[in-house]
Structure 1
Amino acid sequence: MTGYKSAFRPGLFEDQTIIVTGGGSGIGRCVAHELSSLGAHVVLVGRKQEKLDSVLAEIEEDGGSASAYSGDIREEARVIEIIEAVLSENGQINGLVNNAGGQYRAALNTIKTKGFEAVMRSNVVGGFIMMREVYNRYMEKDGGAIVNVIADMWNGWPMYGHSGAARAAMWNLTETAAAEWGHAGVRVNAVAPRTIASSGLDTYDAQDNAWFQRDLRKEVPLQRWGNESEASAAITYLLSPASAFTSGSVIRVDGAAPNGARAWVEPEVARNNKPFEAFHRAVTPKILGGV
């Protein structure tokens, strides 16, 4: 069998238009493939047109439907232009996957104010602008589903204080929007991944290699990295009709990491733990031994 091996039924999102920010790589690229394989027209949004065009070509080669718009979601005017263009071309925006964002590894006392603000704008302000404009320009009248991709920031996030603060803010924004927009039939949820083996790992400095290649046995009860398709499946569920009464919620895709952080006993070696590998174009990050 070739193509994306989704756990969801074929045609689930037929005749729907779904925006995926950060769609040029990592989890965004994967979820774009899954949604298109299920019949959606996927709108890829990201800063680099070249990366978006590469994913667009992949989707079309696989028989899916997609379009791409480059732009910085932190720039309000550009976000409005993109959303108006999508509505002009497709007439609807049924779903939004707020996936764009990023961070770098640094001790809290070394993070410059400019760097802190940049991460906050990427992970909160840009996501907020996307949510607000999609709601005001389409979903307030016609309903829809929004999924915000945050992170495992529970109990603090040492070495990622800027991103932890941003993701916590995005989680509160998710809960708030779910409360304010529920009357319009708009569901707003979040997915919180941890230790996902995606291309984003290869954007870190070489000095961080040893940290990424560390033994996860005492840190993650499932004792392995997650993969992009495991995160994508959670996002896809929250966009689907099966989650019609789910809003203001978060799905953790983290191998139970927050629950194992205070383990008082030596963990046994993990067993019966097979990853869900659905993405036919997945590539192992170089930092984890890929080529």
Structure 2
Amino acid sequence: MSYRSIFAPGLFAGQVVLVTGGGSGIGRCTAHELAALGARVALVGRKLDKLQAVAAEIAEDGGQASVHACDIRQEDAVRAMVAAVLAEHGRIDGLVNNAGGQYMTPLEAISAKGWEAVVNTNLTGGFLVARECFTQAMSRHGGAIVNIVADMWGSMPGMGHSGAARAGMVSLTETAAVEWGPRGVRVNAVAPGYIASSGMDKYPAEMAPLVREMTKTVPSGRFGTEAEVSAGIVYLLSPAAAFVNGSTLRIDGGRPQVRLGWPMRPADEAMRARPAIAPFEGFHRAVTPKLFSKA
């Protein structure tokens, strides 16, 4: 089997796209789709073994990927990583700023160290990677950057550190679009909502019942798929989005529009089976999070 992308074969032929957090979840899925569309993908993450496993999958499917271990929170490491990608591939045409992470805890229990760890990963690290891709490569020939944020439009109770960092990344996206647009670099963001991704397997076991109930707050009545997020990312990297700059594309099934006082109707199973509503399952190597298998 191969990735079932809706985009034209060869769309990114001859291009190099750097994907942070490429060892799992949305990053892994996006890397597979980009490689299937002809891109040479540079996989970036902290754990080399995970990157190598994804690179092997891509090679098995006929694509090309290199691996670059890097802690994006370290400025010198980021600078060296981007230089290494350029040394191996000669150019960087696209960046998917996907690396991130957070944990559940109320504000009063977040230590300064915990706050800094999340903000440095979800905001500062993304800034460093984007800045180095721009200064070392894209400022000379243009390019496209997609920052991955989150559904934080109604704030993120229980993950205030992540919500603050993600909101900061949206602002950074808009600023970079203005400053770098004249150099031929488009900067946009994608905000995934509730996505059935491997990242859910990091949640405590006691959260599983709560997570499974979350679909009741989504008008579309389900979790999104990694492939649905990847499709949005690929669109923003593609020539079809040539006049899209400084925007944030929400992929969330309409969840932020839910309001108190408006009764949520149960999802209509018959309607959900129709192509316009049914999940897009383009990723042939997708793995269902374990907490759903225990439902």
TM-score if structure 1 supplies the norm length?
0.97
Distance 1:267 1:42 in 2: 42
Asked if 1 retains the 8 angstrom alpha-carbon contact of 2:219 and 2:267, the reply is: no
Aligned to 2:32: 33
Q: Structure 1 counterpart of 2:222, which letter?
A: R
Aligned to 2:130: 131
Aligned to 1:275: 279
Aligned to 1:231: 229
Aligned to 1:153: 152
Q: Which residue, 229, 240, 243 being the options, matches 1:242?
A: 240
Distance 2:215 2:38 in 1: 37
Q: Structure 2 counterpart of 1:62, which letter?
A: D
Aligned to 2:212: 213
Asked if 2 retains the 8 angstrom alpha-carbon contact of 1:283 and 1:290, the reply is: no
Aligned to 1:252: 250
Asked if 1 retains the 8 angstrom alpha-carbon contact of 2:220 and 2:267, the reply is: no
Aligned to 2:76: 77
Q: Structure 2 counterpart of 1:32, which letter?
A: A
Asked if 2 retains the 8 angstrom alpha-carbon contact of 1:284 and 1:290, the reply is: no
Aligned to 2:177: 178
Aligned to 2:288: 284
Give CA deviations for 1:212-270 in whole Å, capped at 9, x if unaligned. 121522x1100100010000000000000000000000110101000124451242433
Asked if 2 retains the 8 angstrom alpha-carbon contact of 1:123 and 1:166, the reply is: yes
The SS at the match of 2:215 is coil
- Tell me the CA shift for residue 171 of structure 1: 0.4
Instruction: Using the TM superposition, name which of 154-163 and 27-36 deviates more.
Output: 154-163
Q: Structure 1 counterpart of 2:116, which letter?
A: E
- Tell me the CA shift for residue 75 of structure 1: 0.8
> Does residue 113 of structure 1 match 2:112?
yes
- Tell me the CA shift for residue 106 of structure 1: 1.1
Structure 1, unmatched stretches of 5+, are none
What percentage of residue pairs aligned between the two structures are identical? 55
Aligned to 1:14: 13
Cα–Cα, structure 1 residues 222 and 77, in superposed 2: closer, same or farther, change >3 Å? same
Q: Structure 2 counterpart of 1:188, which letter?
A: V
Cα–Cα, structure 1 residues 67 and 261, in superposed 2: closer, same or farther, change >3 Å? farther
Give CA deviations for 1:155-209 in whole Å, capped at 9, x if unaligned. 2111111100000000000000001111001000000001100100001122222
- Tell me the CA shift for residue 111 of structure 1: 1.3
How well do the aligned residues superpose, as a CA RMSD in angstroms? Answer: 1.3
